[in-house]
Amino acid sequence: MSKDQTKLVKEITSRDADFAQWYTDVCRKAELMDYTDAKGFIIYRPYGYAIWENIQKYMDFEFKKTGHENVYMPLLIPESLFMREADHVKGFAPETAIVTIGGKEELTERLIIRPTSEVLFCEHYSKIVSSYRDLPKKYNQWCSVVRWEKTTRPFLRGSEFLWQEGHTIHATENEAREEVLGMLDIYNNVGKDLLAIPFITGKKTDKEKFAGAEETYTIEALMHDGKALQSGTTHYFGTGFAKAFNIQFQDKDGGLKTVFQTSWGLSTRLIGAIIMVHGDDSGLVLPPYVAPVQVLIVPIQQHKEGVLDEANKLFNEINNAGFRVRLDDSDKSPGWKFAEAEMKGIPVRIELGPRDLENGECVVVTRYNGEKKNVAISAVVSQLPELLKTIHQEMYDVALENVNNNTRPALTYDEFKDIIEHKPGYVKMMWCGEQACEDKIKEDTTATARCIPFVQEHLGDTCPVCGKKAVKEVLFAKAY
Ligand SMILES: [Zn+2]
């Protein structure tokens, strides 16, 4: 390692020394984001924003394929509108930012900067829907929302973050319930197809569900430090909001009915998940399908005859084949370029020097495992699809193994407390369905119920916390 390379790498803390510091170091050194003078509000730098754009592209395609349309609602919500659904108000009031002055005048009605847009959709739907023929309405919005957080961390918890919020209304309960689970499937596939993150899917307990929802479903991911991250949620609202906002329609039988409603959201939090699931002590490690740059070509001794020509030729071939490729022909040393590529987590690096050229070969280095291979220059492009697929699959497998190795059953409450305190990851335990037991667990250990997994195991007949009859197996963990 050259001196400058050591310097770049040295500037990030190791994961085991201080995971939180490592995370912040990676966010900044990989140029994903930067801080601003408004506390809790960050800049999504081009490299970080490009990751979000790739997530957006994937999801937007899936949303539209399943009959959803994009709309855009205003940023501001009149306070009286926001107050109309009681649970919703209770859930969000503590973290709202409110506009009180417009121009130089104090406003007659205060305006809330959207923390989420349920009420705007409800109000709109109540105006445009009158018949069963108007249903379903399946709208999605790409936007940012503001939640006034006391402690913030880049991508994981910010006072403003980017997301999509889907809001749908349906004529029947069945259709709305199918929507909620269908969207959860799409969220789950984002992990499988794009991020190489195995999510655990399930239902939230009542304590953990969304303010105003009847049911909330979630995708949960496990981070390298053993903490869980809620990575996306879908909600079944029943008719709660619809009644509060009078969203009614005349059904086929002539009767006046209330719509059944859903909402679902996924945010830039996923960037945090990618960092903490795959990153290592040299920086970010990006799964190939979400990586803004999939292949970086580094010419070695580029002043020598033929090197840059060949590097440019290879760049054009890879670029024309539709991959996201960059050629670093700057005057930085190769060592610096390598370290930078590692910090930014670029999945494939191709080194090309005079000696390689003589053999008609180049060196292909894969970021996630550091492996180097000599590959015939003429074969690089044809091998790339398979290489990216293998990288994606192996990164997924490693992450899945981490989940499996760090999911432990607890048959007694003492065992539960022991595991939560000493081991990373999830603990699965039977539960009686009472919030009192969840409260006790949180107070004793800070762990929370992540979800009631769809795939249920029967670990016993009683709730280890209170001894009453158990109704479900629940996955607990400390969480972000
Ligand atoms: Zn209990």
Give 147-160 pLDDT, tens digit per residue: 999 899 999 999 99
415 C-alpha to ligand 1 centroid (Å) = 15
Render pLDDT for 32-63 as a digit per residue (tens, 0 to 9): 999 999 999 999 999 999 999 999 999 999 99
Pick from 16, 48, 43: nearest CA to 31:
48
Task: Specify the pLDDT at position 92.
Answer: 83
Q: Is the pLDDT of residue 1 over 80?
A: no
Task: Specify the pLDDT at position 441.
Answer: 97
417 C-alpha to ligand 1 centroid (Å) = 15
Task: Specify the pLDDT at position 249.
Answer: 98
454/180 Cα distance (integer angstroms): 14
- The residues of the chain that CATH labels 3.40.50.800 are 295-394
The answer to whether the CB of 235 falls within 8 A of the CB of 169 is: no
469 C-alpha to ligand 1 centroid (Å) = 8
What number of residues does the chain have? 480
Render pLDDT for 84-143 as a digit per residue (tens, 0 to 9): 877 778 888 889 999 999 999 999 999 999 999 999 999 999 999 999 999 999 999 999
Task: Specify the pLDDT at position 9.
Answer: 56
433 C-alpha to ligand 1 centroid (Å) = 7
**Confidence (pTM):** 0.95
Render pLDDT for 395-443 as a digit per residue (tens, 0 to 9): 999 999 999 999 999 999 999 999 999 999 999 999 999 999 999 999 9
Helix (H, G, I), strand (E, B) or coil at 196: coil
What is the torsional sign of CA 144, 396, 221, 206? positive
Ligand 1 ion local residues (Cβ < 5 A): 432, 434, 437, 463, 465-466
Task: Specify the pLDDT at position 47.
Answer: 98
Pick from 242, 234, 215, 233: nearest CA to 270:
233
464 C-alpha to ligand 1 centroid (Å) = 7
The whole-number average pLDDT for the span 354-360 is 92
37/460 Cα distance (integer angstroms): 53
Q: Is the pLDDT of residue 31 over 80?
A: yes
Task: Specify the pLDDT at position 211.
Answer: 82
The answer to whether the CB of 231 falls within 8 A of the CB of 415 is: no
- The residues of the chain that CATH labels 3.30.930.10 are 12-278
437 C-alpha to ligand 1 centroid (Å) = 5
Tell me: domain 12-278, CATH 2.60.40.10, correct? no
Render pLDDT for 214-250 as a digit per residue (tens, 0 to 9): 999 999 999 999 999 999 999 999 999 999 999 999 9
Render pLDDT for 291-301 as a digit per residue (tens, 0 to 9): 999 999 999 99
357 C-alpha to ligand 1 centroid (Å) = 68
Local confidence band at 4 (pLDDT 50, 70, 90 cut-offs):
low
The answer to whether the CB of 342 falls within 8 A of the CB of 283 is: yes
Local confidence band at 452 (pLDDT 50, 70, 90 cut-offs):
very high
The answer to whether the CB of 292 falls within 8 A of the CB of 47 is: yes
Task: Specify the pLDDT at position 89.
Answer: 80
234 Cβ partners below 8 Å, 6+ apart? 180, 181, 183, 184, 187, 216, 217, 218, 262, 263, 264
H helix or E strand, kind and range, residue 170: strand 160-170
Pick from 78, 82, 71, 272: nearest CA to 161:
272
Q: Which residue has the tokens 């050194």?
A: 29
CATH number of 407-477: 3.30.110.30
Mean pLDDT of the chain: 95
471 C-alpha to ligand 1 centroid (Å) = 9
Say whether the peptide bond before residue 136 is cis (omega within 30 degrees of 0).
Answer: yes
91 C-alpha to ligand 1 centroid (Å) = 25
- The residues of the chain that CATH labels 3.30.110.30 are 407-477
**H helix intervals, 269-379:** 269-278, 307-320, 334-343, 354-359
The CATH number of 295-394, from 3.10.180.10, 3.40.50.800, 1.20.1250.20, 3.40.50.300, is 3.40.50.800
Cross-strand pairs, 364: 350, 373
426 C-alpha to ligand 1 centroid (Å) = 18
Q: Is the pLDDT of residue 380 over 50?
A: yes
Secondary structure string (H, E, C) spanning 387-424: HHHHHHHHHHHHHHHHHHHCEEECCCHHHHHHHHHHCC
Give the largest Cα separation in the chain, rounded.
82
Between the CA of residue 263 and those of 28, 42, 64, 177, what are the distances in Å? 33, 26, 16, 11
The answer to whether the CB of 139 falls within 8 A of the CB of 121 is: yes
Percentage of residues of the chain with pLDDT beyond 90: 93
Pick from 122, 158, 333, 342: nearest CA to 245:
122
449 C-alpha to ligand 1 centroid (Å) = 13
H helix or E strand, kind and range, residue 60: helix 46-65
